[in-house]
Amino acid sequence: MFKSLFKAKPVHREALDLYALAVEQARQPVFYTTLGVEDRIDARFELYTLHVLLLYVRLRHDSPRSAELAQAMFDHYVSALDNVLRELGVGDVSVGKKMRKLGEALYGRMASYEKALSEFDLETLKAGIARNVYGQDDSEHAAVLADYAFACHAALASQTIAEIERRPNWAQISE
């Protein structure tokens, strides 16, 4: 009885694997070399958020199991944020405040990006990426990153959940 009580559910292991694949994709050198994303923790947070969101949006409405997988992946992401804060030396008393601030930023970006993706609103997505990833009102690279996000959204939509679980087929960055 205790073995099954403390054994990780398969969906949680799969969600952790998916989260790791989103992070792996967000760490591709092309984002930092060709697209000019600065290699800072906040810029990496933005790329991680974008990739987790792309998977989350794809998985959430497919089936009850994929919705559970999407939520578990998102939960892993939030847990990873908490762990990073602690590794950076943020004290226990401050972690809650910082997590609340990060959570607000995370939910705001996800809501904005998801709406732009669902409405095929390239300009809104481009403006959000310019502001959040590049810290500017406009960026020549923001348009390329927004195009990439739309291409990933389409690529993920064309894949089965089983294919995504094995390894998502992300779009390529047009250079």
The Cα–Cα gap between 138 and 166 comes to 36
Query: Given a cut of 60, is residue 5 above it in pLDDT?
Result: no
Contacts 24+ apart (CB under 8 A), 19-26: 19/52, 19/73, 19/76, 19/77, 19/80, 21/167, 21/168, 22/48, 22/51, 22/52, 22/54, 22/55, 22/73, 22/77, 22/168, 23/48, 23/51, 25/51, 25/168, 25/170, 26/50, 26/51
Mean pLDDT of 89-106: 69
d(CA 10, CA 47): 27
Q: What is the distance between the alpha carbons of residues 106 and 125, in angstroms, rounded to a whole number?
A: 15
Q: What is the mean pLDDT of residues 115-119?
A: 95
Give per-residue pLDDT as tens, 129-146. Answer: 999 999 987 778 999 999
Residue range 95-105: mean pLDDT, rounded? 72
- Whole-angstrom distance, CA of residue 91 vs CA of residue 88: 9
Are 175 and 140 in contact by the 8 Å Cβ rule? The answer is no
Task: Give the 3-state secondary structure of residue 174.
Answer: coil
Buried b (16+ CB within 10 A) or exposed e, 102-141: beeebeebbebbbebbeeebeebbbbbbbbbbbeeeebeb
- pLDDT value at residue 174: 67
pTM for this structure? 0.86
